[in-house]
Amino acid sequence: MLGTFEKMDIERKLLKKDSLDKLFEKIKGSGRRILAPVQKDNMITFEEVSSPGELAQDYVQTTLSAKGAVFPRCEELFSYKFEGKDVKVEERKSEPKPTVIFGLRPCDAASFAVLNSVFSWDYQDSLFKSRLEKTTVISVSCAKADEYCFCTSVGGGPGETKGSDILLTQIESGDYLAEIVTEKGRGIVALAPELFVPAPTEDKERYLVKLPKQFDLKTLNEKLAKNFDNTELWIEQSLRCLGCGACAFVCPACVCFDMQDEANKKGGVRLRCWDSCGFSLFTLHTSGHNPRSAQSQRWRQRVMHKFAYMPERQNFIGCVGCGRCSRLCPVDMNLLEHLKEIVESRD
């Protein structure tokens, strides 16, 4: 996956829709698990599948992101046993599984790079790295979008190849235009080269949804810098926010985590789980002081971190415009709306 961020010549092939069954078979046969969007009740989540028949149909975006494949909601870092006065530390019991994520949207594919920018920033997180290296991304471009999508405003697009190892675009015949973006993508093709036939010289653009940019990133950045101390703005925007963690947990680019040690007299385990800067105790110090004791400060942090601090420090925008936070927010905190408000605010 790390090689994905290098520039490569993209090969174009055609993958017939009837070939998907065989492709899935070959992928499974190579010892990889396949995670793909599956419909359960009225949710669409990434589950392990064996055949394309299980895939959810006709949707704009999945309920949860696929970040759990590289950054699980609850993972063991190590375990330990008490032996008399000694502590014996043991490595993790299992190795991350080689995985193919099928059916990701281009926005989600781009999010892995954002996650990686944090996990390989000042310290290389070995667990994340090993999961990322074992993950291959086969994305499907977007023919539809809804009012919550804004990938084009944050440097993405419905047919962007950033972060994908293979990008599929469904064309008129129902077959897929397959763009083989990376070495890993070529590895998948090599499993069943007969399924990837020469592509017609079609322009994929006509199959992509037209999503105009909703705001200018540079202007947003400038406005954010000017409005850090504009307490009123942050209070107004966050009055209805309840401080739950839903937005951070469904976000493919949110990376904050909590450590939990669970032990008894015999030994224990150290777990890493998802955390959210929206929680009231996120920045509570042991002294009792909380630098972000008001929801408005936490809301400001969320926006600043994604759109000001991360671009500054990691050279990545901490948002891919997937819109999940807004779709799932219990109180309709529409991020796009809030961002546009900031961009259009008077100086």
Partner 1 sequence: MSEFEPKIVAFVCNWCTYAGADLTGTSRIKYAPNVRMIRLPCTGRIDFMLLLKAFDQGADGIIVSGCHPGDCHYTAGNFHARRRWIIFRSALEFLGIDTRRVHFAWVSAAEGAKWAEFVNSVTDEIKKLGPYETYKKAVGAGIE
Partner 2 sequence: MEELRKKARELLETGAVKVVIGYGKGSGQNARAVFVRKAEYADKLICDESCVQNLAVYLTKPEVKALGKPAIVAKLPVLRTILQLAAENQIAEGDLVVLGVSPDGKIIDLQNFKAIEDYVAQFPFELTPEQKAEIEKIGKMSLEERWQYWQEQFGRCLKCYACRAACPLCYCSRCLVECNQPQWVPAAPHAIGNLEWHIVRAMHLAGRCTNCGDCERACPVGIQLSLLNLKLAEEVLKNFKTRAGASSKAEYALGNWKEEDKENFIK
Residues near partner 1, by CB under 8 A = 72, 74-76, 94, 264, 269, 271
Is residue 334 a contact point for partner 2 (CB under 8 A)?
yes
The binder of partner 2 chosen from 61, 295, 317, 322 (CB under 8 A): 295
Give the rounded distance of the alpha carbon of 276 from its chain centre: 15
Place of tokens 């080269």: 193
Residue 202: CA count within 13 A, CB half-sphere: 20
Q: Which of 62, 141, 161, 238 binds partner 2 (CB under 8 A)?
A: 238
119 binds, among partner 2, partner 1, none (CB under 5 to 8 A by kind): none
Q: Residue 294 interacts with partner 2 (CB under 8 A)?
A: yes
Which of partner 2, partner 1, none does residue 264 bind to, with CB < 5 to 8 Å depending on kind? partner 1
- Residue 277 interacts with partner 2 (CB under 8 A): yes or no: no
Closer residue to partner 2 in complex, CB, 190/281 = 281
Number of residues that bind partner 2 (CB under 8 A): 41
Q: How far apart are CA 243 and CA 296, in angstroms?
A: 10
The distance of closest approach from Cβ of residue 202 to partner 2 in the complex, given in angstroms and rounded to an integer, is: 34
Near partner 2 by CB under 8 A: residue from 9, 172, 332, 347: 332
Which string of DSSP letters, residue by residue, matches 86-137?
A: EEEEE--SSPPPPEEEEEE-HHHHHHHHHHHHHHTSSS--HHHHHHHHTEEE
Q: Which listed range, 172-180, 221-229, 323-331, 339-347, lies at the site for partner 2 (CB under 8 A)?
A: 323-331
Residue nearer to partner 2 on the CB measure, 184 or 306: 306
- Answer for which of 9, 41, 203, 347 binds partner 2 (CB under 8 A) is 41
Minimum CB distance to partner 1 smaller for 72 or for 243: 72
Q: Which of residues 143-172 bind partner 2 (CB under 8 A)?
A: 147-148
* Piece of 6-14, 216-224, 301-309, 325-333 that binds partner 2 (CB under 8 A): 325-333
User: Binds 263, which of partner 1, partner 2, none (CB < 5 to 8 A, cut-off by type)?
Assistant: none
Quick check: 235 binds partner 2 (CB under 8 A)?
Answer: yes
Binder to partner 2 among 18, 48, 232, 258 (CB under 8 A)? 258
How far apart, in Å, are the Cα atoms of 63 and each of 71, 110, 185, 266?
17, 17, 26, 40
254: nearest Cα among 224, 232, 277, 220: 277
Q: Least distance in Å: CB of 94 to partner 1? A: 8
| Cβ–Cβ < 8 Å for 334, 206 | no
Q: Which of 230, 241, 273 is nearest to 254 (CA)?
A: 273
- Strands (E) across the chain are located at 11-15, 33-40, 43-49, 74-83, 86-90, 99-104, 135-140, 166-170, 176-180, 196-198, 257-263, 267-274
Quick check: 62 binds partner 2 (CB under 8 A)? Answer: no
Distance CA(222)–CA(304), nearest Å, equals 11
Q: Determine the distance from the C-alpha atom of residue 285 to the mean position of all C-alpha atoms in its chain, rounded to a whole number.
A: 29
Phi, then psi, of 268 in degrees rounded to 5: -170, -170
The DSSP 8-state label assigned to residue 270 in this structure reads E
Could you list the residues that contact partner 2 (CB under 8 A)? 41-43, 45, 63-64, 73-74, 147-148, 235, 238-240, 242-246, 248-250, 258, 260, 262, 271, 273-274, 276, 279, 281, 294-296, 326, 328, 330-332, 334, 337
